[in-house]
Amino acid sequence: MKQTLSLRIGQHLAMTPQLQQAIRLLQLSTLDLRQEIQETLESNPMLELEEEEISAEQDLLTQANEGVTAPEPVTDASIGNESEDAATSVDSDFEQPIPDELPVDTSWDDIYQPASSTPTTQNPDGGNWDIDATNGTSETLQDHLLWQLNLTPMSELDLIIATAIIDAINTDGMLTLTVEEITESVASFTSQNGTGIDAEIEVESDEVVAVLKRIQHFDPTGIGARDLGECLSLQLMALPNDTPWRSKAVELAENYLDLLGSRNFATLKRKTKLTEEDLACVVALIQSLNPRPGTTIASEQAQYITPDVTVKKNNGRWVVELNGEATPKLRINDNYASLVRRADNSPDNTFLKNNLQEARWFLKSLQSRNETLLKVATKIVEHQRGFLEYGEEAMKPLVLHDIAEAVEMHESTISRVTSRKYMHTPRGIFELKYFFSSHVGTSTGGEVSSTAIRALIKKLTADENPRKPLSDNSIAAILADQNIKVARRTVAKYRESLAIPPSNERKRLV
């Protein structure tokens, strides 16, 4: 085989480190981008934050406008005067006369207020403390129950049983193990561990039930129930004796909870011998209870979202802006950059040159990310102007290909931009992915967004007659009257995605 040389012309994409960095920054969320910027600031001395100098300049400008005079120089005399004043104030506090007896209805703190009694609301940096972090609690449901258990006098065996019961309670407050399983676990624990309990003493199921009854009197009410009926009964029995319909509600929760779940009100009226108005009062009392009492203690902390872009209406036009507070602003340190010499190949100069080049690439990648995000968000707002004006029912069909053609980018780039990026609108904060939805055809040849159909289904079920809820076929027929061709199974799929129960479970008494 003869070897020859030939020339070929072709195109290929080279993934340079700069391009890889730009793509990686593009798909990062705001939180991940902040972490990336922080790591870059720590590793690259050429980068610095702009906020420090800007805040210092603003403080100086504010002082100049308000006529604030510069602080006087600190001298030894001034220090001595300040210390004498402080000592005088402290001595005057201790020289207050102490009465022989305090009034009966007062406490020591009401008469004498210490100088540091006022809680501080600022951190050492001068800013306010985080109220959520100060008032927040990391206490779990088990910790709350164990705290109450330590205040309850019990024998050593009962404490072991109570601890096993608390460990078997989930975050909803329900008991996940049966009495027999708890009895077996406690018996195996006492036989295998040196607890000081006589080995001949057998743990009986009745003793486990007795300890369980004591735990069910702990806070929150309804804790440690073995099923939903018992949970509701415990909460009902904790109500005052003169609570209207309490006894009937206990009877319904213990015996006919399945009929209430299936909305079989006709059978309920026959079983309980109640009229429709009285049954409605009983059901209302049961619905006021908490079926998951443990969530009042083991509640998750709120997760706050920082929007990447904001949308406002200015002079009749929707304006899209980047959220300047989402990410810190960076710049190149002029002092370090001035140390770089062109012809110097020393290790120190090479280190500075490499870091300077990486800093420029990083700033360029951040700028490219912001420009792409603003461009995509602007096109989305132009397409979904009806949603901003009228709500979800005016949402238009939109796919990634439509935005990709409008901004002349690839669909994969649009997918990276819209993933985990959020937009703050007058109607709330939404992920950019929220504005993309499939379409359903109409009888007139048009298209309707699936988001708009979900909004219509939600509106129809909210305005329906609670005695005769709309079935999926009825909803499909109503949408067909509005020229929207939707099958019954499609209505059922959209209804389930909205967490709306079927018609038989939505039926209720008025």
Residue 237 in tokens: 């029995």
Residues 169, 163: Cα–Cα separation, whole Å: 10
Residue 404 gets which letter from DSSP? Answer: H
Question: Averaged over 246-256, what is the pLDDT?
Answer: 91
Residues 213, 179: Cα–Cα separation, whole Å: 12
CB atoms within 10 A of CB 436: 21
Cβ–Cβ under 8 Å, residues 279 and 265: yes
Inside any domain, residue 183: yes
Residue 380 in this model has a pLDDT that exceeds 90:
yes
Handedness of CA 392, 395, 398, 403 (dihedral sign): negative
Residues 225, 207: Cα–Cα separation, whole Å: 16
Domain count for the chain, please give it.
Answer: 4
Inside any domain, residue 38: no
Cβ–Cβ under 8 Å, residues 363 and 72: no
Q: Are residues 348 and 431 in the same domain?
A: yes
Host domain of residue 355? 309-435
The tally of CA atoms less than 13 A away on the side-chain side of residue 40 is 27
Residues 332, 359: Cα–Cα separation, whole Å: 7
Inside any domain, residue 60: no
Residues 423, 240: Cα–Cα separation, whole Å: 49
Three-state DSSP class for residue 429 = strand
**């018992």: which residue's tokens?**
230
Q: Are residues 428 and 321 in the same domain?
A: yes
Q: Are residues 317 and 423 in the same domain?
A: yes
Query: Environment class of residue 34 by beta-carbon count within 10 Å: exposed (0-12), middle (13-18) or buried (19+)?
Result: middle
Residue 346 gets which letter from DSSP? Answer: S
Domain boundary among 435, 450, 481: 435
Q: Are residues 320 and 429 in the same domain?
A: yes
Question: Averaged over 365-392, what is the pLDDT?
Answer: 91
Q: Are residues 251 and 332 in the same domain?
A: no
For the ranges 221-225, 390-394, 465-469, the maximum mean pLDDT occurs at: 221-225
What are the pLDDT digits (tens) for 162-189? 999 999 999 899 999 999 999 888 888 7
Paired with 174 in beta bridges are: 225
Name 283's Cβ contacts closer than 8 Å, sequence gap at least 6: 252, 260, 508, 509
Q: Are residues 394 and 464 in the same domain?
A: no
Query: β-pairing, 47-49 with 330-332?
Result: antiparallel
Domain boundary among 410, 435, 460: 435
Amino acid 296: pLDDT = 86
Domain boundary among 411, 435, 459: 435
Inside any domain, residue 482: yes
Inside any domain, residue 61: no
Residues 463, 474: Cα–Cα separation, whole Å: 14
Q: Are residues 330 and 410 in the same domain?
A: yes
What are the pLDDT digits (tens) for 462-482? 888 888 888 989 898 998 888
Mean pLDDT lowest among 191-195, 278-282, 380-384: 191-195
Label residue 127 by pLDDT band (50, 70, 90).
very low
Q: Are residues 177 and 213 in the same domain?
A: yes
Inside any domain, residue 146: yes
Q: Are residues 255 and 201 in the same domain?
A: no
Q: How far is CA 371 from CA 30, 111, 225, 331, 377, in A?
A: 15, 63, 56, 17, 10
Inside any domain, residue 172: yes
The CATH number covering residue 498 comes to 1.10.10.60
Q: Are residues 177 and 291 in the same domain?
A: no
At 373, the amino acid letter reads L
Q: Are residues 426 and 447 in the same domain?
A: no
Amino acid 231: pLDDT = 93
At 146, the amino acid letter reads L
pTM as predicted: 0.65
Inside any domain, residue 41: no
Q: Are residues 359 and 421 in the same domain?
A: yes
Give the per-residue SS3 of 178-233: CHHHHHHHHHHHHHHCCCCCCCCCCCCHHHHHHHHHHHCCCCCCCCCECCHHHHHH
